[in-house]
Structure 1
Amino acid sequence: MALTGRWLYVLQRLTKRMWFRASLYCGLAVLTALVGVVVRPVLPPGLAGRFGADSVGNILSILATSMLAVTTFSLATMVSAYGTASQSATPRAANLLIEDNGAQIALATFIGAFLFSIAGLIALSTGIYGDGGRMVLFIASVLVIVVITVTLLRWIEQLSRFGRVGETINLVEAATRRAMHTRAKAPWMGGVPFEGPPPDGVPIEAPDVGYVEHLDMEQLERVAAAHGCNLHVLALPGTLAVPGRPLAIVTTALDEDGLKGVRDAFSIGDSRTFEHDPRYGLVVLNEVAVRALSPAVNDPGTCIDVISTIVRLFVEWSEARARHAGHAEVRFPHVHVPELEEADMYDDVFPSIAREGAHMREIGIKLQKAFIALSRLEYAPMRQPVARHSRETLARAMATMTFEPDRVDLQRTASQGAWATQVPEERPAADGTA
């Protein structure tokens, strides 16, 4: 039976753990080292000496020594990259580096090659291989060396950018894009549109305090269908579950099993995740931009890069929503789910950047150009909040900037928007003149 819902989510999270892939590679390496014991009776005698397989012990010794050093170096480099990403970008992005496929494959390959060498040496010392077994081990050792060489070359290339701010932004962008595309295809997560909680509904609160990481829609549908009621979700992934804040509201009171089924459908953890929470990726990008504008970092170029990334994500979100409009599949007709509000997504990123960069001409102009680009999108919900954010951003800048040419340039850029931007009243100068 295929894994679905909550258990599939748990398995997906498990496979992203660094130890999981390393354990798989280690098990495969040990099996590869011992396969010669099984195959040796099939091979004719004398092959080992003809192909030089008698030297396999020396090869394995070199592999064991070198792979231990490479593994130690790689671990030290990765830990250093995590610290660099946490300090220069944001600690929330470090998890993406930990879950990076390239880094995990490299580390798992090196550890697996080390265990392959150790297992082979131990088996050789016991004499269980024989002539044919040594031949198989020799061929396996050559293949392992090829895999190590390819992995090491790719790892060297990745190390040149691993943990850098630009690479971290790219990782966050990719994770956010995946989550946004998934939600754009299914804005109600397979359920039906949420049109407000029922007035006589029964609220169901979370048993623990934490962030909603995942919704098991199949389980919610089973519970609702079994009790002949409709279930209205109030806590989407990324919502902080606290006492007094319902996870959902049902139209009929449920028994203990039903209440437990609903609560178990909400996976609650200590922190937000990228997979099912598009807004979390936007929050992390916002943190990178705000930190870049701090006096300690003072890197407006990174902030401008983040603004461009955010605009790109919003454009793709707009295109995906327009493309899938009216085609959302309803798989869970008893579960009502609210869709993401574009205004909330804007609030996740623009106000903080506008506040921290209010005194910078280049940040203000970049933000206004971003608003102009977003105002031209065909997807109407993406256009509606633009005018408000443009006016607020301009007001912040006008209240902070003192150099008149910068103020004029910013006003000129803001006036190019498709909306009628109201320029705030000029502040009186220090000497009382306008």
Structure 2
Amino acid sequence: MNRTWWLALQITKRLWFRATLFAIMAVVTAVVGIAVGPYIPDRLSDLIGAKAVDAILTILASSMLAVTTFSLSTLVSATTAAASSGTPRAVSLILEDGTAQTALSTFLGAFLFSLVGLIALNAGLYGGGGRLVLFAATLAVVLLIVTMLLRWIDHLAGLGNVGETIRRAAEKAADGMALNSERPALGGRVLDGVPQDAVPLYHDQVGYIRHLDMGRLQRLAEGLEAKLHVTQRPGDFCSLARPVLYVEAAAGFGDDPEATRAALGNAFTVGDSRSYDQDPLLGLTVLSEVASRALSPGINDPGTAIDVVTQVTRLLSRTAMPADAASKKEGDVAEPEYPRVFVRTIDPATFVDVAFLAISRDGAGLIEVVLAVQTALDALAASSDPALSGAALAMAETACKRGLATLAFEDDRRRLEAVRLSSDLRQSMG
């Protein structure tokens, strides 16, 4: 996806975008009755009393304003609960919730529809046929409101609680990791190393890389007859201390080096926060932060941390490659979509560190959490992917040392050593 489409997609995810669309549709629907009214036969228009539509629209206008205000306050409370019980990085998951956005948009649209309808009625803009059209539209709006209210009431049961936050973060992590499994180099070639004669390019903004326009880089590389070696991928922190890419070209940056450097830099969208779209580590980071918050002394909820351990284990297990494909790289299987762009891939050890490092640290003093982490890493160590298996074994050793150094009760220490011993025995037999 190019940068323009990606920015447009970010706009569609904003709460105000859907509400604006529904509001415009509501106003247009109310105005349509004025234009269509003259074409309605008089014998049909006489079926609707003069005051019938007025009364219904008055009820809608007064009630929908209250419902919209209540729903908005509920959404704010849900985001506050998600930030306090989970992590502030989970707030975007609540604000981008489709059901919540549709509910608010429906209620706001219904309010504007009734308000515009009342204004037009009192101004005498509707004839008999117009009132008939408005009445039919009002019935459709009422049916839509009732349906949306039922969905919204059912949805409120889980909005903002920690279980729902874990589920949403796990879904985002699963999508990102599935994309990373299919396209580890984002459609380019896998970066094995940077040539000695490659020229570094630094980005002039400081922040997180939110999106990488691979198509633009490919076009620029073709124009320069160059190869681009991307060392900073979405999710990485961008600063003047590290180059975002290296340019390998005999002619350098072409006839206009400054313009070329600016065009290359524009392929990187930098912002103050990370994005889920091309960053498979962000979902795991959010899950890990939820577990760390649950293990804090103020909350002391090891059960939530164990739930997170289960989720990240399931997610990492899905990314394991079959044994016959474990050593294959994206460029070895088929011609990549962007052959002139080489992108640094994510080491499996990074996935394991992001998922388990904070949990093993904050839960080192709780035997139930320590044992859950050991069990999870033992399962990942049995993976057919050698890199993932090795990373899991290394993390299991680290988590075991943390537990032995923190657990004060001798019986807990013996339990941990027994689990570690049985795991080592299975690994040696395997």
Short-chain TM bin: over 0.9
Alignment of structure 1 residues 47-126 onto 2, 5 Å? 47-52=44-49, 54-126=51-123
Q: Is the 8 A contact 2:3 2:212 kept in 1?
A: yes
Distance in 2, Cα, partners of 1:129 & 1:320: 68
1:222-250 superposed Cα distances (whole Å, 9 cap, x missing partner)? 11110111000011001111112101000
Asked if residue 363 in structure 1 is aligned to residue 357 in structure 2, the reply is no
Distance in 1, Cα, partners of 2:131 & 2:93: 42
1:130-168 superposed Cα distances (whole Å, 9 cap, x missing partner)? 111111111111111111111111111111111000001
Cα drift, residue 421 of structure 1? 8.3
Which runs of 5 or more residues in structure 2 are unaligned?
Answer: none
Question: 1:395 maps to which residue?
Answer: 401
Q: Is the 8 A contact 2:195 2:248 kept in 1?
A: yes
Cα drift, residue 48 of structure 1? 3.2
Computed over aligned residues only, the root mean square deviation of the Cα atoms, in angstroms, reads 1.9
Question: 1:251 maps to which residue?
Answer: 248
Cα drift, residue 419 of structure 1? 6.5
Alignment of structure 1 residues 16-415 onto 2, 5 Å? 16-52=13-49, 54-252=51-249, 253-254=252-253, 255-318=257-320, 327=333, 330-415=336-421
Question: 1:5 maps to which residue?
Answer: 2
Distance in 2, Cα, partners of 1:33 & 1:416: 71
Cα drift, residue 355 of structure 1? 1.1
Letter in 1 for 2:423: G
Distance change in 2, residues 1:194/1:325 (3 Å):
closer
Cα drift, residue 52 of structure 1? 4.8
Question: 1:429 maps to which residue?
Answer: none
Question: 1:427 maps to which residue?
Answer: none
Cα drift, residue 172 of structure 1? 0.8
Distance in 2, Cα, partners of 1:295 & 1:401: 16
Aligned length: 419
Distance change in 2, residues 1:421/1:317 (3 Å):
closer
Q: Is the 8 A contact 2:38 2:127 kept in 1?
A: no
Cα drift, residue 402 of structure 1? 2.1
1:244-270 superposed Cα distances (whole Å, 9 cap, x missing partner)? 210100012212221111100000001
Distance in 1, Cα, partners of 2:388 & 2:138: 57
1:4-35 superposed Cα distances (whole Å, 9 cap, x missing partner)? 50001101100011100000000001011111
Distance change in 2, residues 1:325/1:333 (3 Å):
closer
TM-score, normalising length from structure 1?
0.93
Distance in 2, Cα, partners of 1:348 & 1:219: 30
Question: 1:425 maps to which residue?
Answer: none
Q: Is the 8 A contact 1:372 1:416 kept in 2?
A: no
SS state at 2:201 partner: strand
Which runs of 5 or more residues in structure 1 are unaligned?
Answer: 423-434
Distance in 2, Cα, partners of 1:32 & 1:420: 68
Cα drift, residue 104 of structure 1? 0.5
Letter in 1 for 2:56: I
SS state at 1:416 partner: helix
Q: Is the 8 A contact 1:414 1:421 kept in 2?
A: no
Distance in 2, Cα, partners of 1:285 & 1:20: 28
TM-score, normalising length from structure 2?
0.94
Cα drift, residue 54 of structure 1? 4.3
Distance in 2, Cα, partners of 1:356 & 1:338: 31
Distance change in 2, residues 1:214/1:328 (3 Å):
farther
1:365-422 superposed Cα distances (whole Å, 9 cap, x missing partner)? 1001101111222222221111111111111111111222211222222223257889
Letter in 1 for 2:283: G
